[in-house]
Structure 1
Amino acid sequence: MAHVYANNELVDMLLMYGECHQVAAEASRRYSERFPNRFHPTPRRFVYVTQRARDTGQIQEHRGRHAGRARPRHMLQTEEGILDNVEDDPSTSTREIARQVNVSQHKVWKTLRENQLYPFHVQRV
């Protein structure tokens, strides 16, 4: 998983990149020297942060619609219902679970994958 930088780290990266006249390799080396206790970004990261700031006006990366938020209670209850159905009868199809819980089959697959469960059909050979 990628390192998530704090705002002050990103600002320091932008400042360092500017000090080094936009030479990413030099900025990476000097950042590592100046901040030895921090995670050391690659030279490419300096370019990405700068480009994101230019394109969007923001330095933080957009992490999706629900990033960092707690899941609503109804979503948790739906996911519990899906997992309960699988626990009761592991051979139940994702289509049948979706019908019983009243959600899309995609939501069933997504919930199973998030919980490291992978539906399959046993085939005798």
Structure 2
Amino acid sequence: MASYTPEEYADMLICYGYCGCVSAQARNEYIARFPGRRVPDVAVFDRVYRRLRETGSVLRRNTDMGRPRINDDDEQDNEIVQRFRADPTTSTNIVARDLGLSQWRVWFTVHTAGLYPYHYTPVHTIEEGDPARRLDFCRFMLNADVEDPDF
């Protein structure tokens, strides 16, 4: 669910302080004062109070979420991109092994550059005489059980 607005957080803190920092009572007070708003969970009151004390803001900071991406090696990224521009059928596994990188790093760099590696799949074409040979094979299959019951 979406976060609350700063105004809603401020009102939660007012109710929280008014009720002596008891979350359940603060929730009931919030419902009584603001009947048209969505009702926060009891834990939200404790979280917003703790967040304000720790960070100085009632809003969540999304900048510290997840593992930070370290991208300080543009030479490797350029090498990866050059290899796939030269031969789009190159395997990400092969490039990763050659450069001593993880396959995920190679795949991510390739997709960030807007490239999409692919594997060539050869397809047999129909040549002259193929339709006649196919028709002969179909006729053989249709009559094979009549001519040989053990077929």
1:94–1:105 CA contact under 8 A, matched in 2: no
Q: Distance in 1 between matches of 2:44 and 2:32?
A: 16
- Alignment partner, residue 105 of structure 2: 105
| Structure 2 residues without counterparts, runs of 5 or longer | 65-88, 96-103, 112-151
| Higher RCO structure (Cα 8 Å, ≥6 apart) | 1
> Residue 107 of structure 1: CA displacement?
6.9
- Asked whether 1:34 is paired with 2:33, we answer yes
1:1-125 alignment to 2 at 5 Å? 2-64=1-63, 105=105, 108=108
What is the percentage of aligned positions where both structures have the same residue?
30
Q: Distance in 1 between matches of 2:24 and 2:46?
A: 10
> Residue 27 of structure 1: CA displacement?
0.5
Q: Please tell me the residue identity of whatever aligns with 2:42.
A: P
Q: Distance in 2 between matches of 1:41 and 1:106?
A: 44
> Residue 34 of structure 1: CA displacement?
1.5
- Tell me the number of residue pairs that the alignment of Structure 1 and Structure 2 aligns: 85
With the length of structure 1 as denominator, give the TM-score of the two structures.
Answer: 0.52
- Alignment partner, residue 128 of structure 2: none
SS at match of 1:44: helix
With the length of structure 2 as denominator, give the TM-score of the two structures.
Answer: 0.44
SS at match of 1:27: helix
Q: Please tell me the residue identity of whatever aligns with 1:44.
A: A
> Residue 64 of structure 1: CA displacement?
2.2
1:95–1:105 CA contact under 8 A, matched in 2: no
SS at match of 1:60: coil
Q: Which structure has the greater CA radius of gyration?
A: 2
What CA deviation, in whole Å up to 9, does each residue of 1:101-121 have, x standing for no partner?
xxx737739x7xxxxxxxxxx
What CA deviation, in whole Å up to 9, does each residue of 1:46-77 have, x standing for no partner?
00000011111111111226xxxxxxxxxxxx
SS at match of 2:59: coil
> Residue 95 of structure 1: CA displacement?
8.0
- Alignment partner, residue 133 of structure 2: none
Q: Distance in 2 between matches of 1:19 and 1:56?
A: 22
2:19–2:25 CA contact under 8 A, matched in 1: yes
Q: Please tell me the residue identity of whatever aligns with 1:23.
A: V
Where in structure 1 do 4 or more consecutive aligned residues deviate above 6 Å?
none
Q: Please tell me the residue identity of whatever aligns with 1:32.
A: I
